[in-house]
Each structure stands twice: as structure tokens, then as C-alpha cells.
Amino acid sequence: MNKTIQLQDLGLKDYKATWQYQEELFKGVVDLKIKNRREETTIETPNYFLFVEHPHVYTLGKSGDLENLLLSEKQLEAKGATFYKINRGGDITYHGPGQIVGYPILDLENFFTDIHKYLRFLEEAIILTLQEYGLTCGRSNGETGVWLDAGTPFARKICALGVRASRWVTMHGFALNVNVDLGYFDNIIPCGIRGKAVTSLNVELGVEKVDEAEVKAKILSHFTQLFEAEFVII
């Protein structure tokens, strides 16, 4: 079982180009697993973790409803945003500057074969990170992601989750709002959930800007502990 994860920080990168890159890595792992099974070999499968920040983009998951996008094509263009229907779970979400996006491409057979546990561990890595900033946050019943004041009229989402898995290999991941212009969320019904607000770490802390490199380091620290993994930078 290979618990080493190859870490790449892609910086600011177009959504479609990043999606294609994810697909290449994902396919490489799946193909190796198929080859191992077919040829009865035991070549170790690699694991990857991509950090990235996207220009303004809205993405709709395979179970999502296009009506949750409240902009026309022309309005999207006017806002400098793009839109993609993609192959993750979940509904619609926004990615943009000031948001830390993490795409773990893991062979879960290197860790544990439980998608529910995987999702909960992704949430837990973010929850533990936000606790280091003094925030009380957690989960909302029946809704993925990380929330503040869940179960109250003041519930607000700070981190969205959406993944795809095949043959125990994962792709897509989480999007944590750190220094985000929340106005872009007004153009959608986030995750298809009406009447729930969205927030960002800088807003919750009452500061203009949070150090994103520091947040990433904290996420990786908790991810390492939860998955009993080791990161190597590539």
C-alpha cells in the first residue's frame, strides 16, 4: 500500500485545463490498476494532490439542475466567468480567486475502501484547519461540505465538496472559501440549496486577507494525519 502522495500547487489555472490534467492522472492510476489485475502484477499505484485557484467559473455536477445557474450566457461573459457541466457528484458551485481548491487523486485501496469515510475525512481536514483559526464549524445533516452554525437560521457554508470515484480512484475534491468575493455566489443557488448563505474565512475573521499559504499548510498537516500519508512535492 503506497501512502505517499505527490503534491502539486498549480497556482492560478484555467478550470478546463485543470480538469483535463486531473483526467490524465486519474486515467493513469485506473489503467495501472486494470493492468495489475489483468497481468497479476503488483505495481504500486501513485497518489496525487493538486492545489489550484481558478479564474471565475461555475460548474454543475452530474446530478445538478441547470436552473440553479441564474445567469444567461451573455451575463456570464459580462462577469468574466465560464460555465461547465462536469462529471463529479453534487449540484452547482462557484470557483474563483481567493478560494483554495484541492483535488486529491487517490487510489483508496492504498488507504481504505470506503467512499463515505473518504468524504468525511475531507470535511474533517477542513474542520480541523478552521478550528485553528478559532472557528466553530461542522457538518449539516444531509448536506456535504463544511458549515458554520449548521442547523440554525444563520447556517452558512464555507467549504463545498464534490467527488468522482471509479475502481476506488478519486478525483475532484473540495473548495474552501478563504478570500473570496462572495458576490459571485449570488448568481447561483449554491449546491442547489435554497435559503442558505455562503461565507469566507476572511469575512468570519473580520480581516481583509488571510494568508492562503498558511491555510494550505494546515490543510496538508491534517490530511497527513487523517490519511496516515506522506506528501512529496513534485
Using one digit for the tens of pLDDT, what is the confidence trace for 173-222?
999 999 999 999 888 876 555 557 899 999 999 999 999 999 999 999 99
Q: How far is CA 46 from CA 49, 64, 114, 132, in A?
A: 10, 31, 18, 30
> Would you say 150 is a known binding-site residue?
no
Quote the CA–CA distance of 78 and 181 in Å, as a whole number.
16
SS3 state of residue 29 = helix
DSSP one-letter string for 194-229: TT-EE--HHHHHT-S---HHHHHHHHHHHHHHHHT-
Residue-level pLDDT at 190: 61
Mean pLDDT of the chain: 93
Q: Which residue has the higher pLDDT, 84 or 52?
A: 52
pTM: 0.94
Q: In this structure, what CATH number is given to the domain that contains residue 208?
A: 3.30.930.10
What was the pLDDT predicted at 125? Answer: 98
| 191 is annotated as an active-site residue | yes
CA dist 93 and 68 (Å) reads: 9
Selecting among 57, 105, 191, 219, the annotated active-site residue is 191
96 is in an annotated binding site: no
- For the chain, state the CA radius of gyration: 18
- Residue 95 marked ligand-binding: yes
> Hunting for cell 497527513 — which residue is that?
224
In the chain, count of helices (H) and strands (E)?
5, 12
Per the structure, the count of domains in the chain is: 1
Percent pLDDT > 70 in the chain is: 97
**Closest to 188 measured CA to CA, from 27, 61, 23:** 61
Question: Does 63 score more than 80 pLDDT?
Answer: no
Asked whether residue 160 is marked as a ligand-binding residue, the answer is yes
37 is in an annotated binding site: no
Residue span of the structural domain in which 25 resides: 4-233
